[in-house]
């Protein structure tokens, strides 16, 4: 956010057998857990961003019900604002990766990362505030009736203040502020493809049936945050911390993160055709009468990892074909596709079943 923004715009360790080791919002007024499903499965991947930004960008996207919001859209804006430099300071006093001015930060800044401080230079606080403000602006842009891409209108509002968008009934022209806002919008829109992931093309699922249909449902949740104890048959939900699991950088992440853990992702994917139990060990017990050898795996089969025996099963994933799985790995990560051999320690692989 440049100097033109005004204050008036101011918005796993051992897992318990109960939940298994697994997968990956602070919900604002524009979003709910039910809204998130409408945004899934449409190629909303993310690449070319620093690791420390990735989970926050995905959370900020998931917290916004506006379909125009994507992770790549937010990443392109951060790149333009600060080049992912959390310590960036503009000559006008804008600070942090999203370059918030004092007045705007007073409205939108919150302690999203639960570290006891509300700071523009905290990546979590800044990116989540950016997402909340952009979500609000996208909603306003779509309701304005002004011509043009709502994403461009929202960016113009972020840079120049929505009053300027109202004044020009669209993105301010090149003649305004020496073209700063006009160029800001053009540059960010042009950068979006650079940050778009390839999630839609990672896996091709053919055929119908219990397994393939469950796999499609799981793949529709790629990028959903991991939340220990979170997730229901209806979709993502906040989880909890149990003294060992659910923490990120020493803070309880699960209680403020709507997402899935490994077993809830599996339960969600098969529901309601097959109503599997909630936790990984119970899912193995429910399906163990149909074991599958490693060389006979089919899409949708369940893979389990254990520290020793059925009572120590700690992780479950869905087989995605071609030696890959889709799963929710752990706190701080998201639902993703990985090679089966890299999903969890190879020595812990326990076996596979077919629901």
Those residues whose C-beta lies under 8 Å from the C-beta of residue 143, and which sit 6 or more positions away, are none
Handedness of CA 225, 222, 236, 308 (dihedral sign): negative
Q: Report the C-alpha gap between 230 and 257 in whole angstroms.
A: 8
**Half-sphere exposure at residue 300, Cβ-oriented, CA atoms within 13 angstroms:** 22
Report which of 297, 260, 302, 264 is spatially closest to residue 285, judged by C-alpha positions.
302
Q: Are 77 and 193 in contact (CB under 8 A)?
A: no
Active site residue 81: yes
Q: What share of the chain is helix, strand, coil (3-state, %, to 5)?
A: 40, 15, 45
Q: Report the C-alpha gap between 214 and 114 in whole angstroms.
A: 35
Read off the tokens for 240: 């909890």
Catalytic residue, chosen from 52, 81, 117, 180, is 81
- Strand 349-353 vs strand 291-292: parallel, antiparallel, or unpaired? antiparallel
CB count in 10 Å sphere of residue 290: 12
Handedness of CA 20, 25, 29, 30 (dihedral sign): negative
Angle formed at CA 191 by CA 23 and CA 85, multiple of 5 degrees: 70
Q: Are 254 and 228 in contact (CB under 8 A)?
A: yes
Rounded to 5 degrees, φ, ψ at 185 are -65, -45
Report which of 248, 197, 251 is spatially closest to residue 223, judged by C-alpha positions.
197
Report which of 93, 89, 94, 24 is spatially closest to residue 61, judged by C-alpha positions.
24
Catalytic residue numbers? 81
């Amino acid at each position: 956010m440049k100097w033109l923004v005004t204050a008036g715009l101011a918005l796993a360790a051992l897992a318990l057998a109960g939940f298994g080791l697994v997968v990956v919002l602070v919900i604002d007024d524009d979003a709910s857990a039910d809204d998130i499903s409408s945004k899934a499965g449409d190629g909303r991947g993310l690449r070319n961003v620093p690791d420390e930004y990735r989970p926050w960008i995905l959370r900020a996207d998931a917290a916004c019900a506006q379909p125009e919001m994507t992770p790549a859209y937010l990443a392109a804006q951060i790149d333009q604002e600060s080049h992912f430099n959390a310590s960036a300071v503009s000559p006008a006093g804008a600070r942090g990766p999203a370059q918030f001015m004092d007045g705007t930060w007073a409205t939108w800044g919150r302690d999203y990362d639960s570290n006891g401080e509300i700071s523009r230079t905290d990546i979590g606080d800044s990116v989540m505030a950016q997402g909340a403000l952009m979500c609000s602006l996208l909603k306003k842009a779509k309701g304005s009736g002004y011509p043009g891409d709502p994403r461009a209108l929202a960016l113009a509002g972020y840079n120049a203040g929505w009053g300027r968008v109202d004044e020009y009934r669209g993105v301010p022209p090149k003649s305004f502020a020496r073209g700063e806002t006009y160029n800001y919008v053009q540059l960010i829109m042009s950068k979006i493809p650079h940050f778009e992931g390839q999630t839609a093309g990672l896996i091709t699922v053919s055929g119908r049936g219990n397994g393939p249909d469950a796999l499609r449902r799981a793949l529709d949740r790629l990028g959903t945050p991991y939340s220990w104890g979170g997730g229901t048959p209806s979709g993502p939900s906040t989880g909890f911390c149990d003294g060992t699991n659910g923490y990120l950088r020493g803070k309880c992440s699960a209680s403020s993160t709507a997402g899935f853990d490994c077993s809830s992702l599996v339960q969600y994917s098969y529901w309601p055709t097959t109503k599997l139990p909630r936790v990984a060990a119970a899912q193995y017990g429910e399906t163990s009468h149909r074991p599958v050898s490693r060389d006979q795996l089919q899409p949708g089969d369940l893979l389990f990892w254990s520290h020793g025996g059925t009572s120590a099963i700690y992780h479950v994933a869905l087989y995605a074909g071609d030696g890959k799985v889709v799963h929710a790995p752990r706190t701080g990560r998201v639902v993703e596709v990985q090679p089966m051999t890299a999903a969890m320690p190879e020595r812990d692989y326990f076996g596979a079943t077919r629901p």
